[in-house]
Amino acid sequence: MPMSEAMSPATAVETTEMPAREGIKETLESIVVALILAFVFRAFIVEAFVIPTGSMAPTLYGAHGTLLCEDCGIEFAYGLKDPNDTRRNVPVRATSRAVCPNCNHPNTALQSNDEQRNPEKGDRILVLKWPFSFGWDALEPARWDVIVFKDPADGTTNFIKRLVGLPNEVLMVADGDIYAAPTDELSPETLAELEKLQKEKYDHRSGIRRGRLRPVPHKVLAELDKKMSIRRKTDEAQRALWSPVYDHDHPPRSLDAYQPRWIASGGDASGWDASSPRIRFADQGDQPDELKLTGKEIRATCAYNIHSRPAPPVSDLRVRFVWTPAGTDAATLIRLEKLDRTFWARIAAGGNVSLLESPEPPTDTTPTMASARLAPFTRGQPAEVSFEIVDYRLALRIDAEVVVASSDDPAATAYYGPNLPALRRRRQVRAVTPRFFGESGAFEITHLVVERDEHYYHDARTRALGLPWAPQAGWASAESPILLRGHEFFMLGDNTAASKDSRLWDQVGPHLVERGDEFQLGTVPRDQLIGKAFFVYWPSGHRLDWLPIPGLKDVGIIPDVGRMRWIR
């Protein structure tokens, strides 16, 4: 028999088995490579996290319930755990009340809403990790970024807060705003004193010193008051940090005494009619006619918190609305007030717009801070208007464009800026609300919304700082500015009343103890940063209560796509 014929069967078997083995091998290699790439991707590029608590509400939600207010119909979220309950992990009870952020109504139908609407956990987010791995200045964490980092108290728990303090600066939180001074602009004497206080802080922490931490000397505070400047939010962060106070498109139906409404000062003789969401004005005389928001104390409260304690008043506000003049003689004034200073924005249908400061309604002789001449408004044509005081800046916008604003130049007529010595002396801030004045003509105001800015604050009543030697209100208060060294960051939660953040940290984790005075309470070291949060990819899940499968119907398996969003 020829050799070729004798070998043919064996050869045939070998040629069919080898490709099969090679295919299995290639499949296994592909799986291994995919797993390695997934691990590398998760470890160094992007990782998913779940928000566990409400410390960043309303920017990000932990486990929460969502309800429609029983009175005004506004939808809002509330935490499933009471942040002010001294016991750990105590759920919201059936008798708990979620106070509507719009109309102040104390909603009580919590249990049924929980079963229908709340997710199993909080928002699911994506965190970008790779920029922090290279050490390039352009990719470094920036102020107002939302950052994930390791809890300084244990080194294993992941925290998420907003970055407000950067390395090599002295930081202070006062009246809701962030102030800072670069260390290279401070005198050697002031810097030496701050470094000495930082060493004393470590000695108290270590038990070397007893008693209370020495206060910051007055001469140091005096220099800081001259060299600190307000750190304004980026436009993206500011848009995310406006919180609705009252939306006139959703007025309360019951109109109880504690609920908001727009009321005209002139009563029946007033030219204002605010009885519906479409507010009308028709000139009735020579005197300015006032329309005032009443029944609403604007404070740094968050509807997410159940049974929250009173918070300080907020005067950084925005009023936005749609203005429709009925003729060329229409003119109106919007009034906002901050720390006993009263500001006005004037809009005239002829195109003149201006900013003014006066305790009383301005007249023709009132000095103008800033003004502009626009194209005349068209009769019957709506225009979007907003007037705001935020981070010591006044701005009037028409159709989203800033048309007139205050100045940061102390020599300018339109200058507006903080007075830090006065802020330190001040202990009480009045709660104020916006007002409108109809000057002339006739016009309509629709889609009227009042919003407040995020307000970070120190609460002297807090007991979260368990250090008898530490400043009572916590780190970086107006009386205790904090020196951040070249590797230290300062973090705050947007839900100030329910966030244990840099202001209140009182423990040092075992992973940081050996660093000695290289770690400072109230800060996050550079190597403890994980990444920047940038997207909510799975918000509140909707439940399918009709599913006959036990357990599955209690899980929010359908994401609320409309709430997927970029994190600012």
Query: Any idea what the CATH number is for the domain that residue 530 is in?
Result: 2.10.109.10
Say yes or no: 209 and 267 in one domain.
no
Residue 333 belongs to some domain of the structure: yes
Give the domain range for residue 271: 261-294+315-452
The per-residue pLDDT for 52 is 84
Residue 114 belongs to some domain of the structure: no
The per-residue pLDDT for 158 is 93
In angstroms, how far is the first alpha carbon of the chain from the final one? 82
Q: Which two tokens stand for residue 383?
A: 């225009």
Neighbours of 16 (CB within 10 A): 9
Say yes or no: 210 and 276 in one domain.
no
CATH number, residue 362? 2.60.120.560
Residue 94 belongs to some domain of the structure: no
The per-residue pLDDT for 317 is 97
pLDDT in tens, the chain (568 residues): 343 333 334 334 344 455 666 666 555 655 665 555 555 555 557 888 889 889 999 999 988 888 889 999 999 988 876 555 555 555 666 677 889 999 999 988 665 445 444 445 688 899 998 777 666 766 789 999 999 999 999 999 999 999 999 999 999 999 999 999 999 999 999 999 999 999 999 999 999 999 999 999 999 999 999 999 999 999 999 999 999 999 999 999 998 999 999 999 877 778 999 999 999 999 877 666 899 999 999 999 999 988 677 899 999 999 999 999 999 999 999 999 999 899 999 999 999 999 999 999 998 899 999 999 999 999 999 999 999 999 999 999 999 999 999 999 999 999 999 999 998 887 777 778 999 999 999 999 999 999 999 999 998 776 557 788 998 889 999 999 999 999 999 999 999 988 999 999 999 999 999 999 999 999 999 999 999 999 998 887 666 666 666 655 556 667 778 788 999 9
Find all residues with CB under 8 Å of 262, minimum gap 6, and list them: 248, 272, 274, 279, 291, 292, 293, 294, 448
The per-residue pLDDT for 394 is 98
Give residue for tokens 């007075």: 419
Say yes or no: 283 and 402 in one domain.
yes
Say yes or no: 189 and 328 in one domain.
no
Say yes or no: 468 and 508 in one domain.
yes
Say yes or no: 411 and 373 in one domain.
yes
270 SS3 class: coil
The per-residue pLDDT for 7 is 34
Query: Which stretch of DSSP H or E encloses residue 337?
Result: strand 331-338
Say yes or no: 277 and 358 in one domain.
yes
Residue 50 belongs to some domain of the structure: no
Say yes or no: 208 and 282 in one domain.
no
Residue 420 belongs to some domain of the structure: yes
The per-residue pLDDT for 97 is 84
Neighbours of 514 (CB within 10 A): 8
Q: Residue 543 and residue 565: Cα distance in Å, rounded?
A: 21
Find all residues with CB under 8 Å of 372, minimum gap 6, and list them: 352, 353, 354, 403, 404
Say yes or no: 426 and 462 in one domain.
no
Say yes or no: 208 and 337 in one domain.
no
- Domain stop point among 399, 418, 452: 452
Say yes or no: 375 and 408 in one domain.
yes
Say yes or no: 493 and 446 in one domain.
no
Residue 240 belongs to some domain of the structure: no
Residue 275 belongs to some domain of the structure: yes
- Tell me the angle at which helices 218-227 and 188-206 cross, rounded to the nearest 10 degrees: 120
The per-residue pLDDT for 66 is 81
The per-residue pLDDT for 551 is 59
Closest residue by Cα to residue 489 from 1, 132, 11: 132
Residue 560 belongs to some domain of the structure: no
Q: What is the largest distance, in Å, between two alpha-carbon atoms of the chain?
A: 125
Number of domains making up the chain: 3
The per-residue pLDDT for 544 is 63
Q: Residue 435 and residue 343: Cα distance in Å, rounded?
A: 11
- Domain stop point among 452, 480, 507: 452
- Domain stop point among 452, 479, 511: 452
